[in-house]
Structure 1
Amino acid sequence: MKKVITLLFLVTFGITQAQKAFTGKGDVKVNVGANLQDGGSGIQGSVDFGLGENFSFGLVANYLLGVDNFSGFYRGNTAVYNDSKADFKDRFDAKARINANLSSVIGVEQLDVYPGLSLGLHNFGGHVGGRYFFTDGFGVFTEIGFPIAKYGNNDDPFYHLNNQATFSLGASFNL
């Protein structure tokens, strides 16, 4: 019962003390969190800069810490992989992105829902995310990213690591 009461208190406090999630031009948001996907998991960091009432641009970087090794034949290739490990270029991705920040459009100032497009080292893609701020400087975020057009060819067993749907969640900070 104590846990339920504590949880209700925290939820109530978080809702009543929530702050505006996106203020427009000059707003700077930093996200740091976990990146979850098929074949690996890692960390994600991003920064978004407000350009207008409902528009921002930013940068995002992912690095996969845990990646499954690969053994066997890949896609009919005659080369055999024996416990092959992903290189840095397979684990890392960086993207420039633009967002449409919809908190004022949907009428909930504490929740910033932001669909957008990104152009990265491995693909051109899209994302949909959301941020909720409990205080003026701290909140939480979640984001789903997906590729639209992939670069290169599919001849590497780790090609899929940065060319698939990803899920991220973590902390968001207002600078």
Structure 2
Amino acid sequence: MKKVTLLLVCLFCSFALFSAQAQDGGRGINVNAGIGLGVYNAGGLPIGASVEVGIKDNIAVGGFVDYARYARNWGGYRWSYNFLYFGARGSYHLGDLLKELGMADEKFDPYAGLSLGIRTASYKDNVGIENYDSPYSSASVFLGGHVGTRYYFNEKVGAFGEVGYGVSALRLGVTVKL
């Protein structure tokens, strides 16, 4: 839990830094919060958040954090996996391109991008398992991609859907434009 708290503090500090330096670029600041479906590494229901700041026409940068926990308790034997993904992301927004092709809708904001981050995994049980000392943890760097869209119900609030690499294959949730 300390890692998640520290990560959220770092994410919001980055958000403040980016917002101070942002050149709107027509996109402003977008905050996404949602749940994951199609989990790669485990069961459970992943949750996550991301922040993007428009820095130039059609280009936004920011950060993300995703968390998933999968646990079982069978007759006194307890174990759990925790997955935490966090890092930086950049997106290219396709709205202007679609507008040139005559297919634009102001409520839609389609985008595609890349992310670079760290994924951590930890395992804990109440008895040692061969080749594993409980608790066990690991961390590695990853490069991922994402494709998604936002649909705005009004000027500030909307929904988003995103397919990509992270703690889950599909993310759905709420987006807020600041």
Q: Percent identity, aligned pairs only?
A: 33
Q: CA deviation at 1:83?
A: 4.7
More strand by share: 2
Q: CA deviation at 1:116?
A: 0.4
Mapping 1:128-139, distance limit 5 Å: 128-139=147-158
After superposition, the Cα gap between the structure-2 partners of 1:141 and 1:26, relative to the gap in structure 1 and judged at 3 Å, is closer
Q: CA deviation at 1:40?
A: 2.8
Could you tell me how far apart the structure 2 residues matched to 1:24 and 1:111 are? 16
Count of residue pairs the alignment pairs up = 123
Q: Structure 1 stretches of 5 or more lacking a match?
A: 1-22, 72-81, 148-161
Residue 121, structure 1, aligned to residue 118, structure 2 = yes
SS at match of 2:165: strand
Amino acid at match of 2:93: N
Q: Name the structure 2 match of 1:43.
A: 47
Match of 1:106 among 92, 98, 104: 98
Amino acid at match of 2:28: D
After superposition, the Cα gap between the structure-2 partners of 1:69 and 1:120, relative to the gap in structure 1 and judged at 3 Å, is farther
Q: CA deviation at 1:63?
A: 1.3
CA RMSD for the aligned pairs? 2.2
Q: Structure 2 stretches of 5 or more lacking a match?
A: 1-23, 120-141
Mapping 1:72-111, distance limit 5 Å: 83-86=78-81, 90-107=82-99, 108=104, 109-111=106-108
- 1:101 touches 1:114 (CA, 8 Å); kept in 2? yes
Could you tell me how far apart the structure 2 residues matched to 1:25 and 1:134 are? 18
Could you tell me how far apart the structure 2 residues matched to 1:103 and 1:70 are? 48
Amino acid at match of 2:38: Q
Q: Name the structure 2 match of 1:150.
A: none
The TM-score, its normalising length taken from structure 1, stands at 0.63
Amino acid at match of 2:158: G
The TM-score, its normalising length taken from structure 2, stands at 0.62
Amino acid at match of 1:118: S
Q: Name the structure 1 match of 2:35.
A: 34
Q: CA deviation at 1:53?
A: 1.4
SS at match of 2:45: strand
The list of structure 1 runs, each at least 4 consecutive aligned residues, that deviate by more than 4 angstroms after superposition, is 68-71
Q: CA deviation at 1:50?
A: 0.2
Could you tell me how far apart the structure 1 residues matched to 2:37 and 2:73 are? 19
After superposition, the Cα gap between the structure-2 partners of 1:116 and 1:70, relative to the gap in structure 1 and judged at 3 Å, is farther
